Every structure is written in C-alpha cells, then in structure tokens.
C-alpha cells in the first residue's frame, strides 16, 4: 500500500472529483464533507513521501512498472516532496475554508465547485510529482482548465478576466509544449532524468537554445512574472473568495517550481550562466517585478487587489533567488516558495473571513476591526509582520537567505531592491493595521454615533473559516524557528551539488 502512495495521491483525488457530481446529485450538502475527506488522503500520502525522501533519499515510481525512458515515471526528490506537502496541506485547508463562502455565493453549485477544486489539486500535484515533460504539460492544462472554470464563477467582470486569462494562459502552455517538441526533436526522449543526461552534449545546438527560451517564457507567463503578469490581478481579484484562496498561493508557486526544475534539473546550472545569460535577464526582470508590484500595490484601495499585486512582487523574490545562481539564493528561493505560499494563503483566508462578515474590501472601511474580529485581525497582524520580514515570523528567514545570496553574487542593486520592497510592504500593511487598530471610533465614516455597543461586539467568522486562519497564523510563527531544520533536512538536498 505505501509503495503505491505516489500513484494513489494523484488517483484518489481524481476519482473523488468524478464521484462528486454523483454524490451532489441528491445530497448537495455532503459535497463539502466528501471533498475534505478525499483530500485527507493526499495530505497523508505527501507527508509519508516527504518522510521517506528525508530518511532514505530520492526514489522513483514506475507507472505500470514500465522502465523510465519508455514508461512514465514519478520521480520524487526533496524539492518534489516538499511541494507535494505544501499543495496538499493548503488544498485541504482551502477545502475546509470553502464551506461558508460556497454556500453564500455559489449556493446550488456545490457539486461543480468541489469537482473543479479536486481537479485543480490533482493538476497541481501532478505537475510537481511527474518526471515526464509531456505529462507535466497535461497536468498543467488540467490545473489551468479547472482554474478557468473556478474563476469564471466570480463577481461582476469575472468572465471577462477569465477570458483574458484563458488567452494568455493558453499561449504560455503552448510555448511550453513547443519547448517540449524542440527537445524531442533533438533527443527523442521526454523523460526529465533521461534528457538531463543527454542534453549537455547538445548545449550549443540552436534547437536547445530555442527550447530553453520557449520554456522560460511559457513558465514566466504561468508564474505571472512582471511584464507577463497582466492576467493575474483581474483574475484573482474577481474570483470568488474560496477560489482565490486556493489558486492564488499555489499556481504561481508551482510555476516557480517548474522554472527551478527546468533550470537546475533538466539543464545544468551553468547552461543559464555561460551558454545564454538567462540568469542575468531573469534577475533584472525580477528587480522590475518587485518594484512595480510594490508600487502598484500602494496605489490600490481594494485589499484583495492589493494582495494580488503583492504576489507579483513575491514572484519576483523567488525568481531573484533563482537568478543569482548560488547556494544561498536558491535556498532562499525554495524557502520563500514555502513561506510565501503560507503567507498569501493566510492573507486570502483573512480577506475571505472579512468579506464573509460583510465588511467589504476597501481598506478605509476596516475601522475598529480588531474589536469586531479580534482573532482574525491578530492572525492578520502576524501575517503582515511576516510579510515585512520581522524575525520571529517565517518571512524574515527566506528574505535573509535571499539577501545573503544577492550579496554573495555581488549584485548590490538586487539586495537594495529586496530591502526597499520590505519597506514598501511595511507601508502597505501598517496602513491596514492603523485602520483596524488605531483609528478612534469618532473618526470612522460608518460610526454615525448611533449604536456604539453594536460596533464593539466581537463577531468572528464561523469555525470552518476561523480554524484554518488560526492554523496558518500558528504555522507562520512556527516555520520561522523551524526554518533551520527545514533547510538541513530538505532544502539543502534540493539545491544542485555544483553550488
């Protein structure tokens, strides 16, 4: 049974997705319980796989027992296993959180919603676990298609945002597919490990250069790297809250994973330094992404849109860590994938809870929220401190490694950008904290002096929303002190040996 875990964690949510409409046919209320129950198994499986990888080292699973170059292989190493745990944990919590939001906004559409949610998680897990380039494309499209379906359910303007997302996302996936085709012409193989052994002899062939360029552009579109991010703010802002809570933290991080996989496993690291200067290009693009994302976020009054622009900057962080090409930088980038997934997830959970209690998303309408929703705002403060990089929370540690990496690479402008971005984040979040905690009641636009007792009664979100928020706040604090352990146990094995 445990030998088959790599296949089961993909197959069980997939079968679960197909059974959801059947269950929802008569019992719409059962869908939520069913989805949560199904998602516990991948979480259990992913932690089991991570444990196995940490104790006995990387292994591979052969589907149908066909040997790798011909059959499809699930290659599991430290980076994979960590990503699997992140995706399955966030997927499980997002499914728990979705209950209230779905019965509010999408009443009667529960079967459709949970089917797509399960398919989304299947797609993301598949991207991460597979060791085959074409298989990765198929899973990429599974996750993208279910994402389009989920986002289109949103508020006014969501269908238009979805249509733009479909257009741009398809171009990204097609570029990726072209890259696969070029590699296939040159080598006749689709298996990542097989290709990695064959490619070094061909590094100066133009076909390989073009393939690498197509891969990078395609993945950058899916990741939302700055000039290619235009689909992201609209799509994630207009999506229903449970949907953006699920997709926003995961989709960009998984695309960043594909970039790391292509740059460091499929190609050798020195390909991106010596053969074509893609590392330099990505580095400067990430500088622009961090600054532009931060500045655009400053201009927003809608808190959800603000967070999506912060995500543009956070993608820049990860790409910067990849682009400096040393051990510190890549450690920071992988650690930031973990930390940022937690922080963005926590922010979207909180936005969902605030919206559920009808407080809207305008920053200037959040007065005295610490009295109305004390636990939620405490969690928000923790996340905000982590985003700014204040030590006990996890955000500090990944930024620390990123800055060490840029200093080691003698890229002083990169280091300055990271520090500036932390300052911008501080301004962004303390603007909200000030509104929520510090403004006196008499200053509030809504006070009107009619019923002060009503204003200060605590009115928290229901438990299905509050519990994930508290779990994530605790995780964010715990990941900080634990990051040393995570690095020695997992991340340092995921960094290529050459560094």
Q: Does 138 bind another protein (CB under 8 A)?
A: yes
Q: Does 273 bind another protein (CB under 8 A)?
A: no
Q: Does 163 bind another protein (CB under 8 A)?
A: yes
Q: Does 178 bind another protein (CB under 8 A)?
A: yes
Contact 297, 317 (CB under 8 A): no
Closer residue to another protein, CB minimum distance, 364 or 412: 364
Kindly report the CA angle at 308 between 235 and 407, in degrees rounded to 5? 135
Q: Which of 339, 338, 347 is nearest to 395 (CA)?
A: 339
- The distance of closest approach from Cβ of residue 133 to another protein in the complex, given in angstroms and rounded to an integer, is 10
**Angle, in degrees to the nearest 10, between helices 412-433 and 303-323:** 160
- Tell the residue number behind the tokens 């809870």, with chain if given: 353
Torsion of CA 67, 70, 76, 79, to 10 degrees: 150
Interface residue with another protein among 22, 37, 160, 419 (CB under 8 A) is: 160
Q: Does 141 bind another protein (CB under 8 A)?
A: yes
Taking CB under 8 A as the binding criterion, the range among 179-187, 192-200, 311-319, 343-351 that sits at the site for another protein is 179-187
Contact 369, 360 (CB under 8 A): no
Q: Which residues of 144-166 are buried (b: 16+ CB within 10 A; e: fewer)?
A: bbbbbbbbbbbeeebeebbeebb
Taking CB under 8 A as the binding criterion, the range among 27-35, 165-173, 464-472, 488-496 that sits at the site for another protein is 165-173
Q: Does 193 bind another protein (CB under 8 A)?
A: no
Q: Does 152 bind another protein (CB under 8 A)?
A: yes
Q: Which of 200, 116, 207 is nearest to 162 (CA)?
A: 116
First to last CA, the chain: 37
Query: Under DSSP, is residue 20 helix (H, G, I), strand (E, B) or coil?
Result: helix
Interface residue with another protein among 108, 159, 277, 463 (CB under 8 A) is: 159
Interface residue with another protein among 44, 148, 284, 437 (CB under 8 A) is: 148
Q: Does 177 bind another protein (CB under 8 A)?
A: yes
CA 368, distance to chain mean position in Å, is 31
Report the distance separating Cα 250 and Cα 144, nearest Å. 12
Q: Does 208 bind another protein (CB under 8 A)?
A: no
Interface residue with another protein among 8, 30, 174, 455 (CB under 8 A) is: 174
- The distance of closest approach from Cβ of residue 159 to another protein in the complex, given in angstroms and rounded to an integer, is 4
Q: Does 364 bind another protein (CB under 8 A)?
A: no
Instruction: Kindly state the DSSP code that residue 361 receives in the 8-state scheme.
Output: S
Backbone angles phi, psi at 109, to 5 degrees: -110, 20
Interface residue with another protein among 37, 167, 419, 456 (CB under 8 A) is: 167
# residues contacting another protein (CB under 8 A): 26
Instruction: Kindly state the DSSP code that residue 301 receives in the 8-state scheme.
Output: -
Q: Which two tokens stand for residue 271?
A: 């390909």
Closer residue to another protein, CB minimum distance, 124 or 479: 124
Q: Which of 348, 173, 111 is nearest to 246 (CA)?
A: 348
- The distance of closest approach from Cβ of residue 214 to another protein in the complex, given in angstroms and rounded to an integer, is 10
- The distance of closest approach from Cβ of residue 178 to another protein in the complex, given in angstroms and rounded to an integer, is 6
Report the distance separating Cα 129 and Cα 84, nearest Å. 7
Report the distance separating Cα 321 and Cα 460, nearest Å. 38
Q: Does 156 bind another protein (CB under 8 A)?
A: yes
Interface residue with another protein among 48, 58, 68, 181 (CB under 8 A) is: 181
Q: Which two tokens stand for residue 355?
A: 């919206």
- The distance of closest approach from Cβ of residue 188 to another protein in the complex, given in angstroms and rounded to an integer, is 8
- The distance of closest approach from Cβ of residue 205 to another protein in the complex, given in angstroms and rounded to an integer, is 15
- The distance of closest approach from Cβ of residue 74 to another protein in the complex, given in angstroms and rounded to an integer, is 18
Q: Does 302 bind another protein (CB under 8 A)?
A: no
Q: Does 134 bind another protein (CB under 8 A)?
A: yes
Contact positions vs another protein (CB under 8 A): 134, 137-138, 141, 145, 148-149, 152, 156-157, 159-160, 162-163, 166-167, 170-171, 173-174, 177-178, 181, 184-185, 188
């Amino acid at each position: 049974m445990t030998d088959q875990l790599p296949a089961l964690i993909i197959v069980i949510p997939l079968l679960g997705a197909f059974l959801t409409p059947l269950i929802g046919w008569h019992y719409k209320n059962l869908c939520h319980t069913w989805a949560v129950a199904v998602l516990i198994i991948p979480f259990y499986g992913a932690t089991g796989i991570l444990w196995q990888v940490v104790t006995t080292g990387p292994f591979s699973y052969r589907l149908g027992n066909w040997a790798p170059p011909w059959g499809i292989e699930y290659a599991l190493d430290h980076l994979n296993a960590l990503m699997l745990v992140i995706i399955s944990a966030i997927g499980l919590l997002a499914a728990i959180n979705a209950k209230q939001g779905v019965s509010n906004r999408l009443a009667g559409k529960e079967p459709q919603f949970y089917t797509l949610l399960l398919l989304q998680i299947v797609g993301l897990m598949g991207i991460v676990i597979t060791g085959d380039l074409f298989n990765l494309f198929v899973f990429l499209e599974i996750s993208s298609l279910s994402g389009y379906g989920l986002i289109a359910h949103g508020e006014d303007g969501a269908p238009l945002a979805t249509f733009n997302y479909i257009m741009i996302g398809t171009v990204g996936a097609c570029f990726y597919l072209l890259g696969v085709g070029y590699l296939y012409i040159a080598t006749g193989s689709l298996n990542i490990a097989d290709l990695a052994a064959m490619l070094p002899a061909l590094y100066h062939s133009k076909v390989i250069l073009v393939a690498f360029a197509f891969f990078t552009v395609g993945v950058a579109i899916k990741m939302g790297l700055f000039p290619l991010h235009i689909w992201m703010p609209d799509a994630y802002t207009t999506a229903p809250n449970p949907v953006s809570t699920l997709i926003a933290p995961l989709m960009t991080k998984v695309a960043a994973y594909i970039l790391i996989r292509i740059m460091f496993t499929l190609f050798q690291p020195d390909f991106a330094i010596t053969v074509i200067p893609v590392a330099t290009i990505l580095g400067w693009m990430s500088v622009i992404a961090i600054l532009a994302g931060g500045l655009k976020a400053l201009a927003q009054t809608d808190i959800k849109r603000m967070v999506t622009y912060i995500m543009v900057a956070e993608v820049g962080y990860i790409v910067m860590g990849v682009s400096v090409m040393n051990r510190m930088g890549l450690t920071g980038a992988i650690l930031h994938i973990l930390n940022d997934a937690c922080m963005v997830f926590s922010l979207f959970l909180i936005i969902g809870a605030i919206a559920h209690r009808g407080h809207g998303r305008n920053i200037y309408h959040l007065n005295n929220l610490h009295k109305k929703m004390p636990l939620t705002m405490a969690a928000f403060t923790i996340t905000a401190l982590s985003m700014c990089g204040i030590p006990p929370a996890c955000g500090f540690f990944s930024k620390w490694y990123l800055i060490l990496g840029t200093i080691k690479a003698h890229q002083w402008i990169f280091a300055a950008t990271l520090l500036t971005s932390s300052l911008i984040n501080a301004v962004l979040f303390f603007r909200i904290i000030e509104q929520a905690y510090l403004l006196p009641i008499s200053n509030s636009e809504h006070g009107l002096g009619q019923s002060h007792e009503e204003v200060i009664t605590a009115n928290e979100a229901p438990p299905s929303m509050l519990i994930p928020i508290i779990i994530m706040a605790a995780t964010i604090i715990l990941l900080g002190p634990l990051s040393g352990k995570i690095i020695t146990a997992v991340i340092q094995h995921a960094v290529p040996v050459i560094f």
